[in-house]
Chain A
Amino acid sequence: MNRVLVAEDLYLLRDGLVHLLQAHGFEVVAAVESGPELLRGLLELRPDVSVVDVRLPPTFTDEGLQASLEARRKIPGLPVLVLSQHVEQLYARELLADGSGGIGYLLKDRVFNAEQFIDAVRRVAAGGTAMDPEVIAKLLAGNARNEPLAALTPREREVLEQMAEGRSNAAISQHLYLSESTVAKHTAGIFAKLGLAPSDDDNRRVLAVLAYLHSRQAT
């Protein structure tokens, strides 16, 4: 559960990530700096989780993203946490498209908050999702005209945001200083209002919410 692969082309950041992960009990099996190396590492080492920068050599475009998608096509559900200097809904959608979970997409800034970052890494390793709050904010902004969403109470909306980022009920209750049963009540309310089938599995629940938001926006 602890074998990590790090792909980042900037030496300082790569080193920092390796130290950060090691300090939290991960075993860094490889730290690579280019797209082809990353793909080889993902397929051969099959790490429990990978922390990948979107922009990597040799082309400095979206090498890291492509390598991750490619690897996940060959090994479905291979957990990958993608880091980027900017977040795009387009990329989030591509990462979530296969619907198999074990995916994360965060701004690089989130590394500043070590606990939350490590929490996200663990969540992805366990097959969950970790979406950047900015992606979720954009997603909700794109759904501004969506009527079921507009019917949510402010508190429910907060819970929805947290849920879409990939948090479990326990994590949401910690984050919003609510009791877990209150959060459970809110999530049940949200699912009823959006017309989604309730699910006990945290991960499947998150994917359902994200799929809902994406589908409503695309029409």
Chain B
Amino acid sequence: MFGSALFPDTYGMLRKYGQVLALLALGVAELVTLASAFLCLLCVFGLGMVFLFPPQVRMARWVTGTARRLAGGSTGVVIDPPYLPEPPPPQPQADGLYRSHRTLYKTPRMPAWNDRWKWMVTDPATWRDLLWLLLDPLVKTALLPLLVLLPGRGLRVYAFWCELLLAATPASRMAGRLAHLNRARNLAVDTQAVEMRRIERDLHDGTQARLVALGMTIGAAERLMDTDPGAARALMTKAKEASAETLTELRRLIRGVHPPVLAERGLGDAVRALAMDSPLRVSVEVDLPHRPEAPVEAAAYFAVSELLANAARHGGAETVQIDISSSGPNLRVLVTDDGWGGADPSRGSGLNGIERRLAAFDGVMAIDSPPGGPTTVAMELPRVLPEYWAGDVVKLPRWKTATVIFLWSTSWLPLFPQGIVAGVAKALGSEQRSWFLALYLPEPWQWPCIAFMTLLGTAMYVVAATLPALHNREAYMCQNVPRHVLFP
């Protein structure tokens, strides 16, 4: 009984000491890295041996990365890497050459190196890593007694220290977010361009050609009208048939661009209509309080349409369940079929197409398809539903709220009675000293005191106003940058 109560605790203790030991061992690696970084920086900036820089940065990043994992892992804190996203590989120009600033290169090696150099040197995280390397041995030494005596608390303090210098900053998150948005935008534009090209080709080769033929048939019929009415009538019948075919084709084309039911009824009924047209048994559950924006609806619709077609074509499925729901501002789509399973996004281009479509909205897709089935595809489009702007107010921590209330309720005191009003009283040479603090002071201190009070009051007002605003922006950025997108 005693042992079983003690055992988990002992085990936890041992684990913590193991983590402390690992941290101390990492300290040795840090010292080595620090020494090499010092030498390296001397060589790079003193002797111009720039080629040493990237390996050095990689080494430092490896050490800090390990520290992040160790410190985070021991306390359950997730410390995200703060680095800016890596530059994309250089693209050749039309003439096959690679351009870096004003120089042209035959191979992408130099431009890529330049990009990497710039990426590493301009990233503040590189220098914060170095600062951390410099200070960390000191911090570890200072924390050593605590780490040995109270490993749990010591590890928490150490994780806090690591977070201070090694965690992602709002700026780095923002940079990552921008890079991601750029990628998503390019992808969306590309997809759209391909789509436009397809529509253009369909119109050109199909509809336009048919209309030309139709015009020619009618022209021929017109010429034959007087001489051979029988033949003219036959031609007109043909023209009528041709126009019906053209209409059928146009209808198919329109369905591919934006299905009419989707425009008329929205996502729920469009998916229901899709289910009715499917040869499979499809049950549809839709629970959406509002209609999402049209592009979001279209993305979800085409994703479901593709999945249904896949289930019928490759999956050997008989029944399919489609569930469309909202979770807060997120749109969720779940498609389950009872087919053979084994769907693999790396093989099917259809699944890739869905991912591309969803990517434009930061959407993600997860596929669970064990061999033998059933296949479940879950899609989530974050923050696409209208409620997003209604609720979701960022809450201030208690100490900030208290500070803000205190500041708002007391700032008037230094600013008005002790500052401005006292200044007016002094300027007018009033005899009444009343409770104006400044007027009780010796003459030379009176004006500085009034100025100080005015400034103090103003500053308190400014802080009271900016504290919630700043908090909102940072919290907004930190909370709303999806981790999986930034750091896949």
Pairing of A with B: yes
**A55 x B244 contact (CB < 8 A):** no
Q: Which of B277-285, B299-307, B334-342 contacts A (4 or more CB under 8 A)?
A: B277-285
Known A62-B264, A86-B255; judge A138-B277 contact (CB<8 A): yes
Q: Is B216 an interface residue (CB 8 A)?
A: no
Task: Verify A88–B273 contact, CB threshold 8 A.
Answer: yes
Give the dominant DSSP class at B's interface: helix
B residues near A108, Cβ cutoff 8 Å: 247
| Complex interface: chain A residues within 8 A of B269 (CB) | 90
Question: In the bound complex, how far is the Cα of B259 from the Cα of A61, in angstroms?
Answer: 12
On chain A, the residues within 8 Å of B279 by CB distance are 141-142, 144-145
Instruction: Output the least CB separation between A98 and chain B (Å).
Output: 18
Q: Write the B261-279 contact mask toward A (1 if CB under 8 angstroms, else 0).
A: 1011100010011001111
B260 CB–A CB distance under 8 Å: yes
Please report the C-alpha to C-alpha distance between residue A55 and residue B269 in the assembled complex, in whole angstroms.
16
CB atoms of A142 and B276 under 8 A apart = yes
1/0 contact string of A100-112 vs chain B (CB within 8 Å): 0000000011001
Asked whether, in the complex, the Cβ of A112 is within 8 Å of the Cβ of B281, the reply is no
State whether A61 touches B251 (Cβ < 8 A).
no
By a CB distance below 8 angstroms, the chain B residues around A89 are: 273, 276-277
Residues of A within 8 A of B272 (CB): 90
B369 within 8 Å of A (CB atoms): no
> How many A-B pairs with Cβ below 8 Å?
51
Across the interface, do A109 and B263 meet the contact criterion of CB distance under 8 Å? no
Q: Specify which chain A residues have a CB less than 8 angstroms from the CB of B240 in the assembled complex.
A: 112
Q: How far is the CA of A109 from the CA of B243 in the complex (A)?
A: 9
Interface residue ranges of A12-53 to B (CB < 8 Å): none
Residue B254, interface by CB 8 Å: yes
Interface residues on B, range: 20 to 34
CB-CB under 8 A from A54, the residues of chain B are 264
Contact A112 B243 (CB under 8 A): yes
- Asked if B278 and A109 make an inter-chain contact with CB atoms under 8 angstroms apart, the answer reads no
Report B107 CB to chain A, min CB distance, Å: 55
Picked from B247, B248, B251, B277, the residue with its CB within 8 Å of the CB of A142 is B277
Give the docked Cα–Cα distance between A85 and B254 (Å): 10
Taken together as a complex, chains A and B put the C-alpha atoms of A93 and B275 apart, in Å, by: 13
CB distance from A69 to the nearest CB of B (A): 13
A63 and chain B: residue at smallest CB distance: B264
**CB atoms of B244 and A90 under 8 A apart:** no
Which among A86, A88, A112 is the interface contact of B244 at CB below 8 angstroms?
A: A112
Interchain CB contact under 8 A, A86 and B276: no
Please give, as numbers and ranges, the residues of chain B lying within 8 Å of A86 by CB-CB distance: 251, 254-255, 260-261
Q: Once the chains bind, are A62 and B276 in contact (CB under 8 Å)?
A: no
Q: In the bound complex, how far is the Cα of B261 from the Cα of A62, in angstroms?
A: 9
> Do residues B263 and A85 form an inter-chain contact, with CB atoms below 8 A?
no
- A217 in contact (CB, < 8 A): yes
Complex contact A90–B243 (CB within 8 A): no
Q: Are A55 and B264 in contact (CB under 8 A)?
A: yes
B248 CB contacts on chain A under 8 angstroms: 109
- Pick the residue among A85, A90, A109 that contacts B276 (CB under 8 A): A90
Shortest CB–CB separation between residue B244 and chain A, in angstroms?
5
A20–B394 Cα distance when bound, in Å, is 64
Decide: A90 and B260 in contact? CB cutoff 8 A: no
Is the beta-carbon distance between A109 and B273 smaller than 8 angstroms? no
CB-defined contacts of A112 to chain B, threshold 8 Å = 240, 243-244
Chain B residues with CB under 8 Å of A138's CB are: 276-277
- Judged by a CB distance under 8 angstroms, whether A219 is at the interface is yes
Q: Is the CB of A142 within 8 A of B278?
A: yes
**Complex CA–CA separation, A86 to B260 (angstroms):** 8
- Nearest residue (CB) in B for A59 is B264
Chain A residues near B277 (CB-CB < 8 A): 89, 138, 141-142
Pairwise interchain contact B254-A109, C-beta atoms closer than 8 A: no
A109 contacts across to B, CB distance below 8 A = 244, 247-248
* Chain A proximity mask over B291-331: 1 for CB below 8 Å, otherwise 0: 00000000000000000000000000010000000000000
10 closest cross-chain pairs (CB), A and B: A89-B276, A90-B273, A61-B264, A62-B264, A86-B260, A88-B273, A109-B247, A109-B244, A144-B279, A88-B261
Sample 19 A-B pairs with CB under 8 A, ordered by A number: A55-B264, A61-B265, A85-B260, A86-B251, A86-B261, A88-B261, A88-B273, A89-B276, A89-B277, A90-B261, A90-B272, A90-B273, A93-B276, A109-B244, A138-B277, A141-B277, A142-B276, A145-B279, A219-B281
Q: Interface of A with B (CB < 8 Å)?
A: 54-55, 61-62, 85-86, 88-90, 93, 108-109, 112, 138, 141-142, 144-145, 217, 219
A86-B255, A88-B276 given; 8 more Cβ-contact pairs under 8 Å: A62-B264, A90-B269, A90-B276, A93-B276, A109-B244, A144-B279, A145-B281, A217-B276
